Structure 1
C-alpha cells in the first residue's frame, strides 16, 4: 500500500477523476511487469531520478511548514517524527511510529482529565461521596489514588462513576487497592453508577464479587460495597 500512495497522488494531480484512471494505471503497471520490463530498463536512471523528485514534490504537504507553529506541539512532533522516519526507513515504519506516539500523547492528555469532587452523601447519612469526572485507565491510576483522603474520611465512602469509565485492568487494580486501603482503616467503600460495560469488567476480574442487581432502565450498577460484596437498595 505504501508504494501506491505516490502513484495515486500523481495520478490525481494529473487530472484523474474517475475509477477508470485507477483501472488504467493498474493495467499499465501489470503490462510493464509482465511484458514491457525490457523497455523500462532502457530508461536512464537520471530520468527516473527526475520522476522521483517530482513525486516527492507532489506528495509532500508543503503547508505543514506554515501550520507547525499553530498546532499543538504534540501534533507538530508527530509530523516531524513521521517525516524523519519515512526518510530514514520507509512509510510503513513511519505510520506505525506515528500511531504509537499519538496513542501515548492521547493517553497522557486523558490522564490529566480525571477530576474528583467530594461532598456529603445525600442518600447515605454520614457517608462521603467522591464524584469522578474523566476516564480511569493505566495513565490516570496514580492521580486517582492521590485524590482520596483515606485518613479523614468517614466510615462509609461512595465513589460515583456517573461521569467516568473503568477502562482497563490497571483501573480495576487501582479500585481494588483503594478498597483495601479503606478496609485496613475499618472503613467501607461503595461503587455507584457503574456503566454496564464497567460492571462487566469488574465482574470478570474475579477478585471483586459483583451481583447482577442492575437498574436496566438506566444501565447502571446499584450501590456496591467492595468490602462486603453486597448491593445497596434503590440506586
Structure 2
C-alpha cells in the first residue's frame, strides 16, 4: 500500500454529513414531511412487533426506531434508507436474550455497532457485492420462515419452550392447541386471521391507506369493546430513557463477543443490501455510499444500545414505502423517527392496549411478503447450481443459524463457481502449424485454456501426461498464452508436469508465458525444470522448429544441441 493510499483511507471527510444531504426548498421539504409521516405510521406497529418477537420488549422496539432512525438517517450513506428494528435482527436476538438475559442486548448493540463502524472506516462497504443473489434470496426466505414460525405460539395462545428450534416449537404448540382448545385460543386465532385479512385486502382497495396500522387499531378497538381475553402489550415508557453505558460481567463479555460479531455481520449485510435495493428503486437510479452507510448504521446501533434499545439495520420494507411516498432527501427518515417519538410522549396509553395477537398477525403477513413467489420461481428456474444454493441457504437459515447460513451458502456458491471455472479450463492437443514434415508424430503441441488453478490443475496435468506417454512423443510444446489465470497450485502442477516429462526423457518447450504470470512461474520453479533456459519461446514457429530439429537429430542418432530460442 502506498503512502498516498494509506492517507486516503485515513481521510474520513467523505463519511461525514454534508450540506447537500438535504434540499431545503418548500416543495422538497413538503414531500419529505408527507413521506416521513407515512413511513412513521407504517413503522409503528412493526417496531412494536419486532421488539416483542426479539424478546427485548415493545419499548425497546420504539426506542430503537426513534434513536437509530435519526442517527442512521443523518450519518448513513443512502438518501432514502429507513432504519430501525427488523425481522432478521429479531430472529438473531431472540436466542441471545434467552441465553444471556435481557440486559445483554444493549451491550451487544453497542459492541456490534462499534464493529460495523470500524468496517465502514476501513472501507469494507463493497464486500456485500461478493454475496451471490441466490444466497441473499435464500437467506431472506429463511428469515421470513423463521419470523412466521416465531409467531405461531402467540397465534395459538400457547407458550412454547425458550431457546428451542422455531420449527419444532411451532409444531409442538400447534399440537397442544389442537389437543386442548380454549376460548383464548379462539380469540387469538380470530384476531390474527382478521389482522392478516385486513393487511392483505386493504392495499387492493387503496395503496395510500396504512393497512397494518388500520388492522392493529381495529383489532384493539374490538378487543377493548368485547373485553376479549387477549394478552396485551402492557405498560410503555412515556419518554425516552436516559442514555447509559450498558454493563455486564467479565465472564459474560467473552460470550457476548461472538454474538456481537454475528449481529454486526447481519447488520452490515442487511443494511447494505437494503441501501443497494433502494438505489435501484428510484427512477433513473441513485447513488449510495456503502462505506458511509456502514458508519451510519454502526453509530445507530451504538446510540440505540446506549438508550436501552436493540441493534438496528436498514429496513427494506419501510425504505420502499419511503420512496413510494415521494421522499426526496434523508429528512423523510428523520421525520419518520419523530412521528414514533410523538407516540412515545403522547399515546403510550392506547398503544399499551394493543393485543399481542394483532402484532403476530402483522409479522406473519410481513414474513409472507418478504420473498415473493416470482422471485422464488426466478431463482429456482435459473440454473441448477443457483437453485441448490438458494435451497441450501434457506434450509440452513431455518434449521441452524443465520450467519452459518450465509457462510454455508457462500461455500456452496463458491463450489459451483469453481466447478464451472474448472470445466471451462481445458487442454487441447493441436496439429503443428504449416506443412506436415516427417517426424511430426513425435512432437505433441498442447494449448492450455482458461485457468490453471487448484480446481483444474490435477486434471490438466493428467491429460497432458497421459497423451505424452503415447505415440512415441519425444518433444512436448506447451502453449500458455491463452491462460487467463494461474495460481500457486496451478504453477506448481506445471512444474511437476515439466519435471515428470523431462524425467521420462521427453523434452519440454514452453511458449507464450504472459508477463503477469512470469514471476509466479519462476518462483514456483516451472522454468527451472526445463532442460535449458532457452527452451522458453515467444514465437510458436520458433518453438515448433526447435522441436522438429530435436526430433530430426534424435532420429540421426546425434546429440541435440541447445539451440538459441527467442525470449
TM-score, normalised to structure 1's length? 0.73
Q: Does 1:208 align with 2:519?
A: no
Instruction: Give the superposition deviation at 1:171.
Output: 0.6
Which of 35, 54, 63 does residue 365 from structure 2 map onto?
54
SS at match of 1:186: coil
Distance 1:48 1:20, change over 3 A: same
Which residue in 1 is equivalent to 2:463?
147
Which of 412, 419, 441 is matched with 1:108 structurally? Answer: 419
The answer for the alignment partner of 1:134 in structure 2 is 450
Q: Which has the higher helix share?
A: 2
- Please state whether the residue corresponding to 1:53 is helix, strand or coil: helix
State the Cα deviation string for residues 147-204 of structure 1 (Å, max 9, x = none). 2222235332111122223422221121112112211111222222222222122123
1:229 aligns with 2:229: no
Find the partner of 1:160 among 453, 466, 479.
479
**Runs of 5+ unmatched residues, structure 1:** 211-224
- Superposed CA deviations along residues 20-48 of structure 1, whole A, max 9, x for unmatched, are 2773278459969xx87xx5994553333
- Structure 1 contact 165–198 (Cα < 8 Å) conserved: no
Q: CA deviation at 1:82?
A: 1.8
Question: What is the rounded CA distance, in whole Å, between the counterparts of 2:477 and 2:522 in structure 1?
Answer: 19
Q: Secondary structure at the match of 1:139?
A: coil
> What's 2:494 paired with?
175
Q: Hey, what's the Cα distance between the residues in 2 that align with 1:89 and 1:102?
A: 18
Structure 1 residue 10 and structure 2 residue 326: aligned? no
> What is the CA deviation profile of residues 76-114 of structure 1, one whole-angstrom value per residue up to 9, with x for unaligned ones?
111112222222345433222222111110111121122
2-structure distance, mates of 1:92, 1:50: 27
Question: What's the CA shift string for 1:31-76, capped at 9, x where partnerless?
Answer: 69xx87xx59945533332332233123213214433553211111
Whole-angstrom CA distance in 1 between matches of 2:338 and 2:397: 27
- Name which of 325, 328, 334 aligns with 1:24: 334
For the 8 Å contact 1:150–1:181, the answer to whether it is kept is: no
Structure ID, larger Rg: 2
Please report the TM-score for the alignment, with normalisation by the length of structure 2. 0.34
Q: What is the alpha-carbon distance in structure 2 between the residues aligned to residue 103 and residue 29 of structure 1?
A: 45
SS in 1 for 2:481: strand
Provide structure 2 residue ranges, at least 5 long, that are not aligned to the other structure.
1-266, 275-313, 538-564
Is the aligned partner of 1:186 residue 2:516?
Answer: no
Among 409, 412, 418, which residue is 1:98 paired with? 409
Aligned twin of 2:9? none
CA contact (8 A) 2:389 2:412 kept: yes
Q: Secondary structure at the match of 1:130?
A: strand
Distance, in Å, in 1 between the alignment partners of 2:337 and 2:370 is: 23
Q: Could you say which residue in structure 2 is the equivalent of 1:83?
A: 394
